[in-house]
Structure formats: C-alpha cells, structure tokens
C-alpha cells in the first residue's frame, strides 16, 4: 500500500485559469467589431411592428395550399428541380473527367523516374488553377452571368451547376485517383502500356466505387443548389417559392417548403443507400 500523498486539499484552483480568461477576453474583443458589422440586433425581431408582420405571415402558413392546380404546378417544379440537378451533374462530369485526368500525377510518364518534366508540370498546374476558379465562383453567380447570356430558364441553371460542380468534381476526382494505390498503374506504364490502358485497366477499377460514391453525394447537393438557382430565374421549386413569398401567400410557401424538405430527405436516403451499397 502506498501512502496517500495528499490528504489535505490545497485551494482547488483551475491550473489553466489565466489562459482561459485571456482567451475569453481576446474572443470578446474580436467579436465586438463583427457584431457591429453584421448589424446584430436580435431585438428587432421582437419589436411590436416586426412581430406583428412575422406573426401574420407565419399564421398564414396554415392551412396549407392544397388545390389540385397548385399541387400539379409544385409537382412539375419538383421534377424540374431534380432534372436540372441531374443534367447539371452529368455535364459537370463531362467537365471534370478530362480535367481530372490531365491534372492527375499518377498517370505522368515523366514522373515515373524522378521529377516530372516542366511542360507536363505546367499543364497540370494550369488545369488545377482552372478548377479552382471554376469552383470558387458560387453557382448562383454563374447563374446570374448565364441568365444574361441565354435568358431566363433552366439552361442558365444547368450551366451554372455544370461549371461549379465541374470544378469540385474535377478536384476530388483528381485527389481520389492520386490517393488510390498507384502500384498497378505504374506497373503497366513501366512495361510500356499506354496511359489510356493504364487508366482503364488499373486506375479506374481500383477507384471506381469511390468516384461513383462522391458523384452521388454531389448530386444530392446539386438538388439543393438547383432550388436556390430558381431564385434568380432558373425555374423549378425555387422560383415558385420566390413567387409565393413575394405575394405573401403563406399557405403556398408552407406547402413548397414541406415538399422541398421531403425532396431533400428522399434524395438523402437514396444517396446514402447507393453509397453504402457501393462501398
């Protein structure tokens, strides 16, 4: 039995006390200008005037709008939203696949022996920069741009999804290909296989399920995006929601929101199920 080292408690004190308080003070000092910049005044939500408007709007949510004509319109809008996301993601894959192949280091022949040549290195760098620019402009901004060129309608929305998601897919496809086991690919390349052969017989089979799974996940995100794109005139559920909101028609807004939540839940289910059966 060892003797108990300490029977009387010295004053119990947090050893990290100073650091915690300092951290807290820095936090408050940083937070203050942020609160000012965002005009953070939660109390305006409960000012009598605003409260009355919000209350009226919220209470008009019930009863839901359920006449047949409106529901048909919502159904059409839902399908358009799904279709826009699907077409957008398919086009994004068309953008992403060649870019990912170009940017991917595993398929470089000059990198097999030491350093990559400077020309292939330059091309890869350039492709990566293009992908960064494509995905760092939000899809809504692309949509605003394309609405000016092709006019209102789904074309602008589809193109916007294709470009932003093309950038995202291209980057992640490249990463997946690079992180896959390079052994088989390099074996083929070293033994004189062409790059196409190396890709189709070694690289693609070893990473196809991961690629497919990420694409499905992005499709799920694209459905959310395509609702948002409706707000700038690309059609679908988003546009209907925008219209109903502008007319302060609470019943319609509530119906569309519920349909939208159901749509998101269903696509999440499908996507989870697909991904779990892929892995």
Partner 1 sequence: MSHKAFWFALAFLVLVVASFASLDLQWGQFLSLEAARSMGRFFAEFVPPDLSPVFVSKVAMAAWETLAMSALGTLLAALGGLLLALPKHRFLASAVLNALRSIPELVWAALLLISAGLGPFAGTMALGLHTTGVLGRLFAEAIENAPQGPADALRAQGVGRVQVFFYATWPEVLPQLMSYTLYRWENNIRAAAVLGVVGAGGLGQLLSFHMGLFQMNKTATVLGAMVILVALVDTLSYLWRRALKS
User: Which residues contact partner 1 (rule: CB under 8 A)?
Assistant: 31, 33-35, 37-41, 44-45, 50-51, 53-54, 57, 79-80, 82-84, 86-87, 90, 133, 136-138, 140-141, 144-145, 148-151, 153-155, 158-159, 224, 227-228, 231-232, 238, 241-242, 245, 248, 253, 257, 260-261, 264-265, 274, 277
Q: Measured from the CB atom, is 102 or 241 closer to partner 1?
A: 241
Q: Measured from the CB atom, is 124 or 235 closer to partner 1?
A: 235
Q: Measured from the CB atom, is 53 or 112 closer to partner 1?
A: 53
Which candidate, 154, 128, 181, 175, places its Cα nearest to that of 238? 154
Q: Are 189 and 158 in contact (CB under 8 A)?
A: no
Q: What are the CB-based long-range contacts (under 8 Å, 24+) for 203-206?
A: 203/106, 203/107, 203/177, 206/180, 206/181
Q: Measured from the CB atom, is 195 or 231 closer to partner 1?
A: 231
Per the structure block, which two tokens stand in for 87?
């077409």
Q: Which residue has the tokens 């799974």?
A: 213
Least distance (Å) between residue 190 CB and partner 1: 32
Least distance (Å) between residue 10 CB and partner 1: 19
Least distance (Å) between residue 131 CB and partner 1: 13
Least distance (Å) between residue 63 CB and partner 1: 19
Q: Measured from the CB atom, is 51 or 126 closer to partner 1?
A: 51
Q: Measured from the CB atom, is 107 or 237 closer to partner 1?
A: 237
Least distance (Å) between residue 74 CB and partner 1: 15
| C-alpha distances out from residue 70 to 76, 164, 170, 273, Å | 10, 32, 39, 32
Q: CB under 8 Å to 71, separation ≥6 — which residues?
A: 255
Least distance (Å) between residue 97 CB and partner 1: 15
| C-alpha distances out from residue 95 to 74, 104, 140, 192, 203, Å | 31, 15, 18, 29, 19
89: buried, middle or exposed (CB in 10 Å: 19+, 13-18, 0-12)?
A: buried
DSSP 143-156: HHHHHHHH-SSHHH
């Amino acid at each position: 039995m060892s003797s108990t080292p300490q029977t009387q408690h010295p004053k119990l004190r947090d050893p990290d006390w100073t650091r915690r308080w300092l951290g807290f003070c820095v936090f408050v000092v940083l937070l203050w200008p942020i609160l000012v910049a965002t005009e953070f005044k939660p109390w305006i939500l409960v000012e009598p005037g605003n409260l009355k408007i919000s209350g009226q709007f919220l209470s008009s949510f019930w009863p839901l709008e359920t006449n047949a004509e409106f529901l048909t319109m919502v159904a059409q809008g839902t399908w358009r939203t799904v279709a826009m996301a699907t077409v957008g993601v398919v086009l994004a894959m068309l953008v992403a696949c060649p870019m990912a192949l170009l940017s991917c280091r595993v398929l470089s022949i000059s990198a097999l022996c030491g350093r990559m040549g400077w020309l292939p290195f330059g091309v890869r760098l350039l492709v990566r920069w293009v992908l960064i620019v494509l995905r760092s402009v939000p899809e809504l901004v692309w949509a605003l741009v394309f609405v000016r060129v092709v006019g209102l309608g789904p074309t602008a929305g589809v193109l916007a999804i294709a470009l932003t998601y093309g950038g995202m897919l291209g980057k992640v496809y490249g990463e997946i290909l690079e992180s896959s086991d390079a052994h088989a690919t390099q074996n083929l390349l070293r033994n004189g296989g062409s790059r196409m052969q190396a890709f189709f017989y070694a690289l693609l089979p070893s990473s196809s399920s991961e690629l497919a799974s990420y694409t499905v996940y992005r499709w799920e995100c694209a459905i959310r995006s395509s609702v948002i794109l409706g707000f700038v005139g690309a059609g679908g559920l988003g546009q209907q929601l925008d219209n109903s909101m502008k007319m302060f028609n609470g019943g319609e807004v509530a119906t569309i929101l519920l349909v939208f939540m159901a749509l998101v839940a269903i696509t999440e289910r499908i996507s989870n199920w697909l991904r779990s059966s892929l892995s």
